[in-house]
Structure 1
Amino acid sequence: MTESRCRSRRPWIWLLPAGALLVVMAAVPLLGLTWPFVIILLLGFAAVSLWAIVRLRVERAEHKAAMARRDAAEAVLAERLRLARDLHDLVSHGLGMITVRAAAAAHLHARKPDERALLAAIEDVEAISRAATVELRRMLDALREVDDQPARHPTDTLASLPEIIDGARRAGLRVELHQEELGSVSPGTQMAICRVVREGLANSARHAGSTTVDVRLARTRTAVSVTINDDGPNRGWAVRPGAGHGLIGLRERVSSLGGTLTAEPRAKDDGFCLEAVIPEGAA
């Protein structure tokens, strides 16, 4: 039963006992009714009032149950949508790193054949694909869970940054991390920071090859910022653009926290800058 239907019925329920009382009050002086008949009318009035009260309570309980089911369904749907976005980030990042590592190895091997470097690239591709497969299985398990169980999904924290950067280095990027003391940072902001770093490194790898990337995390009194600067594409590197959904999803995630995302080429050279500023209270 919808909320509008419940609201439309409630005034009519209360009008029934009120109308019955008015009928009794008007009938006694006008018709000269005897007391036994008046008592019967009063009993009828009491019965109608009792029915109205019971009916109102039943409808109210049904309405609350319906709202609870709707809220639970919306919570599950919201969690599934978050998992879907995380799944997209995971798959696109893992496949992007594999593609870039393989392409970089082929590019370097064509310029200077080196079987050891080629073998190292194959081992890196295997390691990246294994890690992505493990996380993919965890997230798919969460998506398969029944609705009355809380969904479990991997959550990135600031402690995940070294692993994220190591993966980018294995893919051929030269990454330097400069992190100030950030103090206490909320879980949502930590996850957003990791997503910005993942997407920024993946974009640098796709568009610039084995370039140098500077990752900086800083904090002011009211916000946490993460900035990713790369030195631009290597000479002879063929750009491998993605679908273009990564930055759109990233901007949505950052803006949902009240932050801003800037992604633009650097004016002084061929490099690219990705910066996110996310509001965060005092440490």
Structure 2
Amino acid sequence: MTFLRRPSVRCFLVVTLAVYLLFSPLLAVFEMGWPNVLALLPLSVTAFGCCVWVLRGRDERRNAWLLAAVLTGGLVLHVISRYSGMGFLYFVVFAAPFRTRFWPAVLLVTADLAGTALSSLMIGMQGWEVGGNLLGLTYIAVLVFLVRHARTTREHAAALAEARAGEAVLAERARLAREVHDILAHSQSAQIVHLEGARLLLERGEDPAAALDRVNRAVRLARAGLEETRRALDALRGQELPLAERLELLAVEFRSVTGSSCAVSVTGDLGSLEAGARLAVARTAQEALTNARRHAPGASVSVVLRRVGRWCELEVRDTGGPPGPAMSAVSPVSPVSPVSPGSPGSPGSSAGGYGLVGMRERAELIGGSLAARPGAEGFEVLLRVPA
């Protein structure tokens, strides 16, 4: 189609169209004699001017009226001199579907066909001549409407593809935001806690050994965060660790940082889990352990991953920490509905509330659900994803 946009080609097409539209009226003038010039030539020029205006204009409503004028001029010319207005009648059929809206185009083409038949019968044309003209106009009309439909379908497909590309970009941004939160907030929040504790111990002149222990724990967390970043990059490259091994690494990290117990239990066949479900399980376990470490210090945690029918369930429970503002701020949550992110500092809302948002988004994107609520002793998180 780029060939048709070349200036030389467009100029040739315009000249050809002008000759086609004016040839029959001019020929009729010469055949009928110069006295008929005042009857035919002004009407032909007017209809031709409307055709040019239609080709140059983009106003669909105005084009409909201009094409109606072209149709009227073509029919009058056809009645005055047989076939002298057929070029204008064909122009209406060609231009209406592309220069006006659908229903005005249908009305114009229908009026063109009906007017051609009636005017041809009025001037005494034979039935086979009338039928041939109608057959040609009908064939062109069907072809042009099919081309219009194909172009409209292509435009809609392009718009849909562009919209889907935009949605994909937004989804990718959301995914990267969750990954950044899950990787960085998990390790850096605990590092800040230990480094802040070490700073306070040193400022107060208290036990240097305790401050050094805090610094060593922060170093281990930094290394664990770097290792988690590497694991995330490996997962993007298709070199993902088995889910049970990832959960065990998280448990080892939790035990080394807090000194509390963290038991991991994996049961059932989990080999059919998709990549999105595996990532949701790993990130939810990571976030739940981070929240337990922050809001329930000294609590023991259990991580249970099991296959239940068509679902895979991850349950993370802690035994609860010492009472404080963070724990008292928790309100009971229905066990069947996902919890809304609370205010910063409430359990499960690390990094200003984005922890629960990320876990819930991961679950919903793959058709799962997330429930976070106070348990019998501490806090529990239950994730269900399709297996």
Aligned with 2:279 (options 183, 191, 204): 191
What's the counterpart of residue 182 of structure 2? 89
Aligned with 2:320 (options 208, 232, 242): 232
Deviation string, structure 1 residues 116-152 (Cα, Å, up to 9, x no partner): 634532431431353466679x69xxxxxxxxxxx98
1:60–1:178: structure 2 CA closer, same or farther, 3 Å change rule? closer
More moved, 192-201 vs 232-241: 232-241
Structure 2 residue 297 is the aligned partner of structure 1 residue 205? no
Deviation string, structure 1 residues 59-98 (Cα, Å, up to 9, x no partner): 3322322222222222222222222222222222122232
Q: Is the Cα contact below 8 Å between 1:225 and 1:277 reproduced in 2?
A: yes
Structure 2 residue 165 is the aligned partner of structure 1 residue 72? yes
What's the counterpart of residue 146 of structure 1? none
Which amino acid is 1:97 matched to? A
Alignment of 1:215-230 (within 5 A): 215-230=303-318
Q: Is the Cα contact below 8 Å between 1:262 and 1:274 reproduced in 2?
A: yes
Deviation string, structure 1 residues 180-221 (Cα, Å, up to 9, x no partner): 133322222212211220111011011122432111112211
2:309 partner SS? coil
Structure 2 residue 252 is the aligned partner of structure 1 residue 166? yes
1:12–1:205: structure 2 CA closer, same or farther, 3 Å change rule? same
1:99–1:81: structure 2 CA closer, same or farther, 3 Å change rule? same
Structure 2 residue 375 is the aligned partner of structure 1 residue 266? yes
Which amino acid is 1:259 matched to? G
The runs of 5 or more residues in structure 2 that have no matched partner are 1-97, 328-343
Which amino acid is 2:305 matched to? L
1:19–1:152: structure 2 CA closer, same or farther, 3 Å change rule? farther
Q: Is the Cα contact below 8 Å between 2:188 and 2:222 reproduced in 1?
A: no
Which structure exhibits the higher relative contact order, with contacts defined as CA atoms closer than 8 Å and separated by 6 or more residues? 1
TM-aligned CA deviation for residue 254 of structure 1 = 2.1
Distance 1:226 1:261 in 2: 10
What's the counterpart of residue 57 of structure 1? 150
Q: Is the Cα contact below 8 Å between 1:98 and 1:171 reproduced in 2?
A: no
Structure 2 residue 269 is the aligned partner of structure 1 residue 182? yes
Distance 1:176 1:21 in 2: 83
TM-aligned CA deviation for residue 176 of structure 1 = 1.4
Q: Is the Cα contact below 8 Å between 1:16 and 1:48 reproduced in 2?
A: no
Q: Is the Cα contact below 8 Å between 2:310 and 2:386 reproduced in 1?
A: yes
Aligned with 1:28 (options 120, 144, 148): 120
Which amino acid is 2:121 matched to? P
Q: Is the Cα contact below 8 Å between 1:175 and 1:213 reproduced in 2?
A: yes
1:194–1:72: structure 2 CA closer, same or farther, 3 Å change rule? same
TM-aligned CA deviation for residue 44 of structure 1 = 5.9
1:126–1:92: structure 2 CA closer, same or farther, 3 Å change rule? closer
Distance 2:266 2:171 in 1: 32
Distance 2:239 2:101 in 1: 47
Aligned with 1:19 (options 111, 117, 139): 111
Distance 2:324 2:127 in 1: 107
Which amino acid is 1:254 matched to? A
Select the structure that is richer in helix.
Answer: 2
TM-aligned CA deviation for residue 107 of structure 1 = 9.0
Which amino acid is 2:288 matched to? G
TM-aligned CA deviation for residue 225 of structure 1 = 1.4
Among the aligned pairs, what percent are the same residue? 28
Q: Is the Cα contact below 8 Å between 1:83 and 1:153 reproduced in 2?
A: no
1:234–1:174: structure 2 CA closer, same or farther, 3 Å change rule? farther
* Higher radius of gyration, 1 or 2: 2
Q: TM-score, normalised by structure 2?
A: 0.54
TM-aligned CA deviation for residue 154 of structure 1 = 9.5
CA RMSD of aligned residues (A): 4.1
Distance 2:301 2:201 in 1: 19
Distance 1:225 1:89 in 2: 20
Distance 1:223 1:171 in 2: 32
Aligned with 2:356 (options 219, 237, 247): 247
